[in-house]
Structure 1
Amino acid sequence: MDQDLKGWYTEQSPMWPGQAFSLQIEKILHEKKSKFQNIQVLESTHYGKMLVLDGAIQFTERDEASYQEMITFLPLNSHPHPKKVLVVGGGDGGVARECSRHPAVEEVVQCEIDAEVIEACKTFVPSMGCGFSNPKLTLYTGDGAQFLEKTNDKFDVIITDASDPVVNGDGGGVKDGPAISLFQEDYYARMKDKLTEGGILCCQGECMWLDAALISRLVKNCHEIFPVVEYAYTCTPSYPSGQIGFILCSKNEATNFRDPVTVWDCEKATALSLKYYNADIHRASFVMPTFMRNILKDAR
C-alpha cells in the first residue's frame, strides 16, 4: 500500500505483483485497527465511499453492485426455493442487502468475523450498511468456519463473501488473513453438510488473471465433493485486474447454473432496484476465455 502521492490512494500489494491501482481521494472518513485487520473508510472523488481492509479495496460505491448482486443472485436464482440463506463474511452488509430483495428468501443468517467492519459500514457507508437492517436477518459475529461446525441448522443456499485469503505482511510480503479458513478444501465439505437436499453454495472465487492456480485447486476439490461445480465471473473495475470470480456448487445433479430457474429480465431487475444483474448477464458470466476454459477443464 502506498499513499505517498498526495490526494490519491494506491493499492499496491505483493498479492498481485507488478501492478497497482489508484483512486483520487478527498478524505479519510474512518481508520481503525481491529483485532483482525486494519480498517479504512475513504471518500473518493469519482467512486464514492470505499472500504479498504489491510490495504486491499473491498468495495467502492460506484461499482459494488457488480459484485454484491452477482454473488447473491447467481446462487439464489439457480435454486427453485431459496427460503433460508447463510451468509459467511459479508461484513459490509452488501449480500444481506441483496438477499432482502429476493421475494423467495424468508430467513438470512449471517456470520461475520469482524464486528468493527460491520460498525464502520453501518456508520460511514449506509448504502452498504443498510443491509444489516434487513428484517429477515439474524447476525452473529465470529469465525464462519467454526460457526458451520457448531450450527445444527440447514440452509438452502450458503454464500461465502470472503476477503482475500492472504494480506499484506508488515515486511512487504504476504501472510494469512482472517479469511484463510474459508479457502481450505475441508471448508467446502463442511458447507455441504449444512445444505438442505438440493442445496447450493457460492463462494468468492478470486481473479482468473492472478489466482488461476488457487482457483484450479479449489474447483478440482469441489468436483470430488459435489456433483455440479461451475465457475463464473463478474467485472468490477476497482478490483485487481477488474475481474473477480465465483465458485458455485450444488448437491442436486440436475442443477444447471448457466440457465437460471428464476428469470429476471432487465425490466424486472430494474423494478427490484438492481444495477448489474439480470438473466442475460447471469448466463454470460459462465462464458470463459480460452485459457480459463482449459484450466477449468483440467480441474475436472
Structure 2
Amino acid sequence: MRRVGKIISVRTMDALRNGWFSEIQPDLWPGQCMSLQVDAVLHKEKSPYQEILVLQTKKHGRALVLDNIIQCTEFDEFAYQEMIAFLPLCAHTSPAEVLIIGGGDGGVAREVVKHPLVQHVTQVEIDDRVIAASKKYLPFMSSGFNNAKLNLIVGDGFAYMDQQRGKFDVIITDSSDPVGPAANLFTENYFKLLSNALRPGGIICSQGGCIWTGLKEVKATVDAARKYFSNVKYALVSVPTYPCGQIGLLIATNDKIDLTHARHLVEDKSLRYYHGDAHKAAFTLPKFAADQLLPSINNNIV
C-alpha cells in the first residue's frame, strides 16, 4: 500500500454517495478528488489502525481503500507494484535478500518473488486486518503471500528496522504519504535506519510522493535521503487512480552505480508495465520538477 494513517477527516458515509466513492481529501489534495463508480461494498471494518474498505467498482475492478484513500485498484495496481519492485531489484547486481516494509495487500511481494536472483523476502506489515481482507478479496495481489521465498511478519516496520544491521540487499518501503503517523518513514532518522540495514552495495526504494501535489515535500524527502545516501534518484510512475495520475519513487544507494540503468531484466510474461526502456525513462523529469529536484541530485550522478 502506498498510503495509510490517521490523517482523514472525511467519513465513509460522505465518501460513498449515490453509487460513487469519492476520494475527498482537502488537507492532502485541496480542490480535487478521484471518484470511482461502485457496484458493491464487499468489505468494511475498522482495524486498530484504520478503516478498511474493499469495493467492487464499475470500471476498475476491485479497489482497496484505507481511511477513505484509494490504495490500489485492479485496473492499474500493477504499474506501481512492478516499478517499486523492479527499479531497485534490476539495478542491483545480486538482490538475494529483500525487505519489504508495508505492502499489506501483497502486491509488492507478488512482484519481488518473481525476480530469479531473489532468494529470501522478509515483509513487515503492521495491520493484520489489511492482510486478511486482501487475502479474501484481492487474490490477484495477495498471491504474493503464498510464495515460499516470503517470511511475513505482522509488526511495526519502523521498530523492526531499528534492530537490523547489514542484512539486506534491497529494502522497499511501500508506505503512506509524508503526513500523519507515516511521516516518520520520510525522515532523516528513517533513512539512517535504512542505510544501517543494508549490505554493501544495497539499494532502497520508497514511495516518494507526487510532484504535482507536493513538490516541496518531495524535495524535502530527497534532501533527507541524501544525508545517508550518496546516490539518490527520483522516478515517475503513471498510475491513473492516484492523485494527478502520477506517483514518485525514491531510489538510493551508497554505491557508485547508475541507478537509471537496469543491470539485468526479468523475463516474466506477467509483467505489464516494467521493461528496460521504462526503467530508464522513469528518471526523466519534467522541467518544473527537475528545476527543484536535480540540484539536490546532480552531485550524486556517477
How far does residue 165 in structure 1 lie from its aligned partner after superposition? Answer: 3.5
1:277 maps to 2:274? yes
Return the alpha-carbon distance in structure 2 between the equivalents of residues 74 and 297 of structure 1.
Answer: 19
How far does residue 223 in structure 1 lie from its aligned partner after superposition? Answer: 1.9
Q: Which residue identity does 1:259 align to in structure 2?
A: H
Q: Which residues of 2 match residues 18-167 of structure 1 at below 5 A? A: 18-152=31-165, 154-166=167-179
- SS of 2:209's partner is coil
| Alignment CA distance shift 1:289-1:232 (3 Å) | same
| Alignment CA distance shift 1:229-1:153 (3 Å) | closer
Give identity over the alignment, percent: 44
How far does residue 141 in structure 1 lie from its aligned partner after superposition? Answer: 1.1
Return the alpha-carbon distance in structure 2 between the equivalents of residues 165 and 216 of structure 1.
Answer: 12
Return the alpha-carbon distance in structure 1 between the equivalents of residues 224 and 32 of structure 2.
Answer: 30
| Alignment CA distance shift 1:217-1:31 (3 Å) | same
- Which string of whole-angstrom CA distances, capped at 9 and with x for unpartnered residues, describes residues 86-114 of structure 1? 00000110011001111000000000111
Confirm or deny: 8 A CA contact 1:234 1:243 kept in the other structure.
yes
Tell me the TM-score normalized by structure 2.
0.91
- SS of 2:279's partner is helix
| Alignment CA distance shift 1:131-1:242 (3 Å) | same
Return the alpha-carbon distance in structure 2 between the equivalents of residues 92 and 51 of structure 1.
Answer: 8
Q: Which residue identity does 2:229 align to in structure 1?
A: F
Partner of 2:260: 258
Confirm or deny: 8 A CA contact 1:58 1:163 kept in the other structure.
no
How far does residue 130 in structure 1 lie from its aligned partner after superposition? Answer: 1.1
Return the alpha-carbon distance in structure 1 between the equivalents of residues 231 and 83 of structure 2.
Answer: 19
Q: Which residue identity does 1:278 align to in structure 2?
A: H
- SS of 1:225's partner is coil
How far does residue 152 in structure 1 lie from its aligned partner after superposition? Answer: 4.8
Confirm or deny: 8 A CA contact 1:188 1:222 kept in the other structure.
yes
How far does residue 153 in structure 1 lie from its aligned partner after superposition? Answer: 6.0
- Which string of whole-angstrom CA distances, capped at 9 and with x for unpartnered residues, describes residues 106-135 of structure 1? 000000111111111001111111111111
| Alignment CA distance shift 1:130-1:153 (3 Å) | farther
- Which residue, 203, 206, 210 being the options, matches 2:209? 206
4+ residue runs of structure 1 moved beyond 4 angstroms?
Answer: none
Confirm or deny: 8 A CA contact 2:230 2:253 kept in the other structure.
yes
Confirm or deny: 8 A CA contact 1:155 1:194 kept in the other structure.
yes
Confirm or deny: 8 A CA contact 2:166 2:199 kept in the other structure.
no
How far does residue 251 in structure 1 lie from its aligned partner after superposition? Answer: 1.8
Return the alpha-carbon distance in structure 1 between the equivalents of residues 102 and 16 of structure 2.
Answer: 31
Partner of 1:169: none
Partner of 2:184: 181
Unaligned runs of 5+ in 1: 167-175
Tell me the TM-score normalized by structure 1.
0.92
Instruction: Report the number of matched residues.
Output: 284
Confirm or deny: 8 A CA contact 2:188 2:227 kept in the other structure.
no
Confirm or deny: 8 A CA contact 2:164 2:196 kept in the other structure.
no
Confirm or deny: 8 A CA contact 2:15 2:68 kept in the other structure.
no
- SS of 2:212's partner is coil
How far does residue 150 in structure 1 lie from its aligned partner after superposition? Answer: 1.9
How far does residue 3 in structure 1 lie from its aligned partner after superposition? Answer: 3.2
- Which string of whole-angstrom CA distances, capped at 9 and with x for unpartnered residues, describes residues 167-210 of structure 1? xxxxxxxxx24x23212221011100000000000000010101
- SS of 2:104's partner is coil
Q: Which residue identity does 1:258 align to in structure 2?
A: T
Confirm or deny: 8 A CA contact 1:229 1:247 kept in the other structure.
yes
Return the alpha-carbon distance in structure 1 between the equivalents of residues 280 and 52 of structure 2.
Answer: 35
1:295 maps to 2:292? yes
- Which string of whole-angstrom CA distances, capped at 9 and with x for unpartnered residues, describes residues 231-255 of structure 1? 00100000001000000001212x1
| Alignment CA distance shift 1:153-1:118 (3 Å) | farther
Deviates more, 1:155-164 or 1:180-189: 180-189
Unaligned runs of 5+ in 2: 1-9, 298-302
